[in-house]
Amino acid sequence: MADEETQAAEGASAEEASEEASEEAAEQLKAIKVADLLVQAASGLISLGSVRLAGEQRDLAQARLAIDSLRALEPVLREQLSAELADELQRAVAGMQLAFAEAVNEQTEPAGSVASAPEPESGEPSAADSSVSGA
């Protein structure tokens, strides 16, 4: 019988702790501003999107979703943020868009293709030019 009482007491204690945690969470939600949550979401999207653009974690579909989500949030956040933070967000999105374009280009280039070497700036013809002109 003592075991049943102990289990009942533990169950009641766990229930009370759960209620307290719920009340505490409700109080915390009352204090949070939607703009603050959106800034946190944007920060997370920037971090996760950047990870998905490079390395072993590359997933361009996920990166694109992060970029598109940030682009949708940007006008809303611009109204809520300081001009400096809004510009920082815009730069981050632009950088991610550029990295995305570069990643897409990497995927579409044939694996064995090598970029052509830049032309010499000196005005002297290169070896390939002299062989073409018959010199």
122 in any annotated domain: no
Q: The pTM is what? A: 0.64
120 in any annotated domain: no
123 in any annotated domain: no
Could you tell me if 89 and 77 are in contact, meaning their C-beta atoms sit under 8 angstroms apart?
yes
Burial status of residue 85 (CB atoms within 10 A of its CB: 0-12, 13-18, 19 or more):
middle
128 in any annotated domain: no
Range of the domain at 77: 20-108
80 in any annotated domain: yes
Instruction: Give the number of domains in the chain.
Output: 1
26 in any annotated domain: yes
Q: Render pLDDT for 91-132 as a digit per residue (tens, 0 to 9).
A: 999 999 999 999 999 888 765 554 444 454 454 444 444 444
Least confident of 6-10, 33-37, 80-84, 118-122: 118-122
55 in any annotated domain: yes
72 in any annotated domain: yes
Alpha-carbon span 68 to 131, nearest angstrom = 50
